[in-house]
Amino acid sequence: MNTASINSTYSSTQESRSTMQFEANTTINAPIATVFALYADVGNWPSWDPDLKASSLKGAFVSGAVGEVKPHSGPKSELKFVEVIQDKSVRMECKLPLGMMHFDYELQAQGNGTMATHRTTFSGLLAPIWSRLIGSGMKKTLPAALAGLKKAAESK
């Protein structure tokens, strides 16, 4: 697993003290459709995301769909697919007490490959606390998740 090609950015959003964000990206030597197919196969996310123990989707992979994720360290959480744009992006959210956790997966063509960006944003009154409690571990595993996605897509 080559994590040298993973670029990470960790920052607080300047718009509000109640919003915290971090992201990472990597270039994948595979077409966008191949990478997006891995996103659409929600039940197999743990095969490329080492932070997840289990994941599932109720129904089709479309905007408004609902699923569940179970990280290795943490409770099972409901995941709402707020926006799914074929071969472009996926926006998801999990409710937290007095806050929300948003996940954005974005794909862009880059030569014969794909630039994949994963962004996590905490919003709401307790965003700074949730960012420290949950986000600190997620920041550490985000590059490994992207490396796993890269490996899975490039082996297809």
DSSP β-bridge partners for residue 108: 115
Question: Tens digits of per-residue pLDDT, 30-64?
Answer: 999 999 999 999 999 999 999 999 999 999 999 99
Q: Which of 61, 58, 26, 59 is nearest to 41 (CA)?
A: 61
The per-residue pLDDT for 16 is: 53
The per-residue pLDDT for 5 is: 57
The DSSP 8-state label assigned to residue 73 in this structure reads S
Domain 6-154 grouped into CATH 3.90.1300.10:
no
DSSP β-bridge partners for residue 90: 84, 105
CA neighbours within 13 Å on the CB side: how many for 39? 27
The CA-atom distances, in angstroms, between 16 and each of 19, 21, 94 are 6, 11, 20
Query: Which mean pLDDT values do the consecutive 10-residue runs of the chain (156 residues) have?
Result: 50 56 94 99 98 97 98 93 99 96 97 96 93 89 96 96
The per-residue pLDDT for 117 is: 97
Residue pair 92/73 in contact (Cβ under 8 Å)? The answer is no
The per-residue pLDDT for 136 is: 86
The per-residue pLDDT for 87 is: 98
The domain locations on the chain are 6-154
Instruction: Determine which helix (DSSP H) or strand (DSSP E) holds 100, and give its type and residue range.
Output: strand 99-110
The per-residue pLDDT for 99 is: 95
